[in-house]
Structure 1
Amino acid sequence: MKVIVVGGGVIGVTTAYYLAEAGHEVVVYDRQKGPAQETSYANSGEISSGCASPLAAPGVPLKALKWLAMKDGPFSFRPKFDPKMWMWLARMLRNCTAERYQANKSLMVPLAEYSRDLLRVLREGTDIAYDELSHGTLQLFRTQEQLDGIGSDLAVLDKFEVPYEILDAAGCIAAEPGLAGARHDIAGGLRLPDDETGDCRLFVQRLTELCVERGVVFKFGQKVFSIDAWAGKVQRITADGPGEADAFVLAAGSYSERFMRKLHQRLPVYPLKGYSLTVPVANAVAAPVSTVIDETYKVAITRLGDRIRIGGTVEMSGFDLTLHESRRAPLERSLGELFPGAGDLREAHFWCGLRPMTPDGPPILGRTKLPNLYINIGHGMLGWTMACGSGKILADMISGREPEIDISGLGPARFWG
């Protein structure tokens, strides 16, 4: 059948790839001039299935207040007169219980693990290259209190048999030798050896080329104005010209909520802005080997070939894409304290993007109330981690096949109960 995908980021393009592999005729629409020009452009580069966790967690409300009081804290709130902002925030706070955290993380980890495995199969089958490494992730704790607080995460990892190591300071330095020069004490770390890294934008660009070889048509520079439905199903999209198909996939990130609202199917997806710095490696010995997550500043420091990507911070400010210079400080500080001299900050590329967040944490995958409209959104900070799995699940559903993992609890119906 013919399928139209709205969105040319990592989620939309991976969905298109698996749809084409399943034998469908696929057309992708995106308003940008090429693939991965928005949220997928310069994310932190980590494929961290073991670290797949909801933002909504026990203790987060109090932590957020402390972070707001910090000069360079990992959280920034710019309140607006926007009912959707406050409604989303209220729903997120209701998920900040131990019970809800466990349930939501238990939905996210299997999807992330499945996605990582599919990415490996894709890489082996196509020889796609994107500055990828398979050296694991190190979640670094500067205080004993942080290290002592990982019990609930370990319970989920044990449940799904995800390999991990708990390291002391010496073990962290053995895994990441560049930490030997750290200017801050290290209490320990949680190492996830099966995690990977890679340049998301480069991956999407090269996957787009593979999609074209498989017959996928990309209509870049074409903004989709509406998804038009009547007679009980979607009939077309309206862009620069009408686009008709048998099935439609909405994978437009934070902007997907607007389309769904016009179809009278409200979904609580809200943008939380994240920032990154990309710097050239100045000293390879002092640089990270893979990804190190600085738990104190909620910053991920990732090696991407001859570059270092420092990504993090959460800013709640609606659809504002202003690059606030004050948000550079926690990124620069994290790199400077953990890997001093590793990167040339004078040559840093500063960027921000909007992460499409659900209030409970898991993405929204599946069929909507319209039988030929499917949705693949809400991955938040884990779009790169969950992309292949989410795309394959949507392709299987559209093809009439049962997904290979249990996806109950991931569909949009959980918000319509």
Structure 2
Amino acid sequence: MKILVLGAGVVGTAAAYYLAKDGHEVTVIERHEAAARGTSQSNAGLVSPGDATAWASPAALKTFLRALWNHDLGIKVRLRLDPYFYTWSLRFLRECTVKRLRANTDIKLRLALHSRECINQLSEDTGIQYDERKKGILYFFRSQKSLDTGTDNYRYLGEHGLPIEIVGRERLVELEPGLAGVKEKIAGGVYSPIDQTGDSK
């Protein structure tokens, strides 16, 4: 089968690779002068099952409502007469229950763990290098409240297949010496040893 893939970023090139490996004739079209100059150029390059907690949650519901009048938050919500916006908002709000949070997190974690296996296998099979670092990722929290909420979510991930370590200040500095000068401003953190980083370009 002849297949056209639009975009030569991380997703497009990976899709093309797997399609070609499956025996298809694949053409990749990229509007920029080189690969990975769109979304992938600005991406963080994290391979992070530790970040698999679903975003839609009771806490996100509060943030969503606050964003209606506080434009300094990480998300922006602007009311406008757009039926698609209201349809999407209602669908999002229906996902902001503890039950849906857990169900969506289960799916997201399975997908994240599978994706990690895929990228490592792809790297091994092709020899492609992307400045990968397989040293884990450290998630830290500035307040006790955010630490308590965060560790609850991470414990749930840990119960469902993600290796994690909940750490105090001293262990934080041991894992990341660069935090030594600010450790008193950090309540604690979570270390996900199987998380990875790389360059998405």
Residue equivalent to 2:81: 81
Residue equivalent to 1:151: 152
Q: Is the 8 A contact 2:135 2:194 kept in 1?
A: yes
Residues 1:100 and 2:100 aligned together: yes
Q: Is the 8 A contact 1:102 1:152 kept in 2?
A: no
Residue equivalent to 2:23: 23
| Deviating more after overlay: 182-191 vs 60-69 | 60-69
Instruction: Give 1:101 deviation, angstroms.
Output: 0.7
Q: In the superposition, relative to structure 1, how do residues 81 and 195 fare at CA in structure 2: closer, same or farther (>3 Å)?
A: same
Deviations for 1:253-305, whole angstroms, at most 9, x for unmatched residues?
Answer: xxxxxxxxxxxxxxxxxxxxxxxxxxxxxxxxxxxxxxxxxxxxxxxxxxxxx
Q: In the superposition, relative to structure 1, how do residues 70 and 189 fare at CA in structure 2: closer, same or farther (>3 Å)?
A: farther
Q: In the superposition, relative to structure 1, how do residues 183 and 72 fare at CA in structure 2: closer, same or farther (>3 Å)?
A: farther
Q: Take 1:3 and 1:59, find their aligned partners in 2: how far apart are those partners? A: 42
Residue equivalent to 2:162: 162
Alignment of 1:55-204 (within 5 A): 55-66=55-66, 72-149=72-149, 150-159=151-160, 161-182=161-182, 185-201=185-201
| SS of 1:28 mapped into structure 2 | strand
Query: Hey, which of these two has a bigger chunk of strand by percent?
Result: 1
Alignment of 1:219-368 (within 5 A): none
Instruction: Give 1:102 deviation, angstroms.
Output: 0.5
Paired amino acid for 1:135: K
Paired amino acid for 1:15: A
Q: In the superposition, relative to structure 1, how do residues 33 and 89 fare at CA in structure 2: closer, same or farther (>3 Å)?
A: farther
Paired residues, number: 200
Instruction: Give 1:50 deviation, angstroms.
Output: 2.0
Q: Is the 8 A contact 1:68 1:75 kept in 2?
A: no
Deviations for 1:10-29, whole angstroms, at most 9, x for unmatched residues?
Answer: 21210101111222211123
| SS of 2:185 mapped into structure 1 | coil
Deviations for 1:108-134, whole angstroms, at most 9, x for unmatched residues?
Answer: 111111111121122222221222111
Deviations for 1:335-393, whole angstroms, at most 9, x for unmatched residues?
Answer: xxxxxxxxxxxxxxxxxxxxxxxxxxxxxxxxxxxxxxxxxxxxxxxxxxxxxxxxxxx
| Unaligned segments of structure 2, at least 5 residues | none
Paired amino acid for 1:137: I
Paired amino acid for 1:87: T
Q: In the superposition, relative to structure 1, how do residues 13 and 80 fare at CA in structure 2: closer, same or farther (>3 Å)?
A: farther
Q: Take 1:48 and 1:144, find their aligned partners in 2: how far apart are those partners? A: 23
Q: Is the 8 A contact 2:140 2:186 kept in 1?
A: yes
Paired amino acid for 2:83: P
Q: Take 1:76 and 1:134, find their aligned partners in 2: how far apart are those partners? A: 33
Q: Is the 8 A contact 1:147 1:189 kept in 2?
A: yes
Paired amino acid for 1:5: V
Paired amino acid for 1:121: Q
Q: In the superposition, relative to structure 1, how do residues 26 and 117 fare at CA in structure 2: closer, same or farther (>3 Å)?
A: same
Q: Take 1:124 and 1:138, find their aligned partners in 2: how far apart are those partners? A: 25
| SS of 2:132 mapped into structure 1 | coil
Deviations for 1:64-120, whole angstroms, at most 9, x for unmatched residues?
Answer: 445666674322233443322222122111101000011011111111111111211
Q: Is the 8 A contact 2:67 2:77 kept in 1?
A: no
Paired amino acid for 1:158: E
| SS of 1:170 mapped into structure 2 | helix
Paired amino acid for 1:10: V
Residue equivalent to 1:301: none
What TM-score do you get using the length of structure 1 for normalisation?
0.45
| SS of 1:133 mapped into structure 2 | coil
| SS of 1:135 mapped into structure 2 | coil
What TM-score do you get using the length of structure 2 for normalisation?
0.89
Q: Take 2:79 and 2:32, find their aligned partners in 1: how far apart are those partners? A: 28
Paired amino acid for 2:195: D
What's the Cα RMSD here? Answer: 2.1
